Amino acid sequence: MTAETPIGGKNVMNNNFMNAPLFSWCINTYKSLPYLKLAIESIRENAFYKKQPIICYTENDDETAAWLQQQSDITPIIEYNKVPLGIGGGTNKCIEHVKTEFFSLIHSDFYISRHYDAPLFDLVSSTEKPLVAGAWRLEPNIFNNVDRIGTVFAPVENGFGVYHHDFLKNEFLDWADEFVKTSNAPDFRKVEGVSYMMRTKYFINNSDAYRPTSYEDMDQSVRMQLEGYNFVVTGKALTWHFGARSSHFLGQHDKLTGTSDRQKQGEARNYQKWLKIWKESPSYDEMGFIKVTDNMREIYNKNKDKYLTGDYSSVIKDV
């Protein structure tokens, strides 16, 4: 690769010269404005491909709505819903507005490292087949976790911060540069949370059954697997993830408040829905990726006309 040839090859180079956007950034946010501001800052400052469209969905949040409407480079989607759409539904709304061939979905509490988007775009643009590409993460160790493949935990003390106001972004960026160059972090098969890049035409909607939160991402991953999609999390891309801002910090941007009622109720209710839909509890492979069992495949094939779109209304009406 020369300095004159952008990552991504000849087609990308031509697109850049013509100023045609390659992909759209998609963000779903809920009452986490200080973190959303950092996420947008990181896109503006650190993305390899500059001036790609940014689409942001928020609901029932006047403060975030007002800020979004002031941003000239963001397409805001602002709604007020009695029953919130939540993470999955908000993501669906974002993708409905995408006009580019690809999109990059990130959490509103991400801070992407330098050139985070370049290796992901290389992967998804290298094939016409449905491929879902994600990045490794670095997170503050607020829950005393142990490092696992795909996620490295930074110490709370003498790390890179825990909150929006104490985040050491320059130190993180330097650490991230070194990580992607020297760590030899392996690529592996998984979707790492609700964040990935892919071709827009292959997006499968999150099911409305799980609104506003919990299980919608695993359900989507099951359906993508059943449709033959490929998945990769690459060690060549890294993002900072503050973590749990909508589930444990909701409305309190500066302190850990414990699991929100919205999260607890969603997890309990949607576990019961999952059992109705798939007839067994979720299970995971050695990488932590949701498994598709023979029984789940049989259920899907018998009900594919509805299950493909996430329409589970006939099996969860009593939950």
CATH architecture for residues 10-261: Alpha-Beta Complex (3.90)
- What gap in Å lies between CA 135 and CA 105, rounded to an integer? 11
Domain boundaries, the chain: 10-261
Tens-digit pLDDT string for the chain (319 aa): 233 333 444 445 445 546 899 999 999 999 999 999 999 999 999 999 999 999 999 999 999 999 999 999 999 999 999 999 998 999 999 999 999 999 999 999 999 999 999 999 999 999 999 999 999 999 999 888 899 999 999 999 999 999 999 999 999 999 999 999 999 999 999 998 779 999 999 999 999 999 988 899 999 999 999 999 999 999 999 999 998 766 555 555 566 656 677 778 888 999 999 999 999 999 999 999 999 999 999 999 999 999 999 999 999 987 7
* 11 CB neighbour count, 10 Å cutoff: 10
- Residue 256 has φ and ψ, to the nearest 5°, of -80, 120
- What gap in Å lies between CA 203 and CA 130, rounded to an integer? 9
pTM, to two decimals: 0.91
Strands (E), the chain: 23-29, 54-59, 74-79, 102-107, 110-112, 131-140, 151-154, 196-199, 230-241
Assess contact for 84 and 186: CB atoms under 8 A.
no
